[in-house]
Amino acid sequence: MTSNVSLAAVAAVLLALTLAANACTPADREALLSFKSALDERYLGIFKSWSGNDCCTNWYGVSCDPESNRVADIVLRGESEDPIFEKAGRSGYMSGTISPSLCRLDRLTTLILADWKDISGPIPPCITSLPNLRILDLIGNKITGQIPSDVGKLRRLTVLNVADNQISGPLPSSIVDLNSLMHLDLSNNRLSGDIPSDIGKLSMMSRALLSRNHLTGSIPASLAGIYRLADLDLSMNQISGSIPAQFGSMPVLSTLNLDGNLLTGPIPASLLSNSGLNIVNLSRNGLEGNLPDVFGPKTYFTAIDLSYNNLRGAIPKSLSSAKYIGHLDLSHNHLCGPIPNGSPFDHLEASSFANNDCLCGMPLRTC
């Protein structure tokens, strides 16, 4: 009995030793320490936990693959529910840069360095040599420079989120090779140039958010071929040309924001008859022609904003047969004639119709 117990104890000690010996390779540990030394986080003290040999245990935001004991995830969020924030009574703030030493963590699958407000410098170009990278999320910092031109090498990348930074330069043409990409968020940067015309190759993509950049050129019609695309936001750029009519036949498109561009031409009839579409903002463009007469009992919009365009003619009567229209804005166009009656219009205010040529009827003056 006694010998059995001590045998078990010896085995447990041996097991612990083996685990300790295996946990965190010295090379990974060195890479992490070098990554840490380029950053400065002084209010929460998250990097105080980055000490000792075993980077796989209790290093804040670091986790390892349990089989290989290689660093797999770095998840550092400047805004989170973690008690460390509550204790400090503030959100995160970090300055410094993203050290290229990170690229030595060649089993990394997740890099999240989000909402630290002041991390600057470029995305290290060597990041494209991390073959297992699935999530790259650097939202809410002050990152500058360009998106690495060979970003397309990251064939496993599912999330690319660098929104709310100061990234400039073009969308690299290799971006269309990210064949696992599901979420692309490049909003609120300084990206310029055209959207690659073959962006439709990103067949897994469900959200493409490119708003608030300096993008030019026209909207690639190939986007309409992305079967899973549900949310497309190209708002507040300098995109010109017309809206591809093919958008009307996208099966799961539910939010389309193209507001604040230089779009011209008509609003495709097929677009407004696409019954899956829920939120459409085409405000502040140069769209012309009549409002297509394609509405009916299947029409259901949470919000439809066509304000600040050059739309002419009357509001089609069919719009009053819509099932639901939460928010409608037709203001600042050249529409004329009576506003249809009907339940979708009952709750709308005069501001929805203001500044047109000669609209009349409720909620404006009587005809």
Ligand X SMILES: *[C@@H]1O[C@H](CO)[C@@H](O)[C@H](O)[C@H]1NC(C)=O
Q: List residues binding ligand X (CB under 6 A).
A: 235, 259-260, 281, 283-284, 303, 305, 327
Which residue's CB is nearer to ligand X, number 172 or number 260? 260
For ligand X, which is the closer residue by CB, 222 or 235? 235
From the CB of 288, what's the least distance to ligand X, in Å?
18
* Closest CB to ligand X: residue number: 259
Beta pairing class for 117-120 and 94-97:
parallel
**Minimum distance, C-beta of residue 43 to ligand X, in the bound complex (Å):** 35
Q: In this structure, what token pair is assigned to residue 314?
A: 């009357």
Structure tokens belonging to residue 236: 């507040």
Query: How many residues comprise the chain?
Result: 367
115 versus 305: smaller Cβ distance to ligand X: 305
In this structure, the number of other CB atoms found within 10 A of the CB of residue 360 comes to 14
Q: Least Å distance between CB 272 and ligand X? A: 15
Between CA 284 and CA 263 the distance in angstroms is 9
Task: For residue 110, count CB atoms less than 10 angstroms from its CB and return exposed for 0-12, middle for 13-18, buried for 19 or more.
Answer: middle
| 364 burial via Cβ count (<10 Å: 0-12, 13-18, 19+) | middle
Distances, alpha carbon 133 to alpha carbons 11, 32, 35, 62, 105, in Å = 37, 16, 17, 15, 10
CB of 104 or CB of 332, closer to ligand X: 332
Query: Rounded to the nearest whole angstrom, what is the least distance from the CB of residue 235 to ligand X in the complex?
Result: 6
Closest to ligand X by CB, 146 or 278? 278
Of 101 and 188, which has the nearer Cβ to ligand X?
188
Q: What is the DSSP letter of 146?
A: -
Structure tokens at 327: 């928010």
CB of 337 to ligand X, least distance (A): 24
Task: Confirm if 150 and 174 have CB atoms less than 8 A apart.
Answer: yes
Min. distance of Cβ 305 from ligand X in angstroms?
4
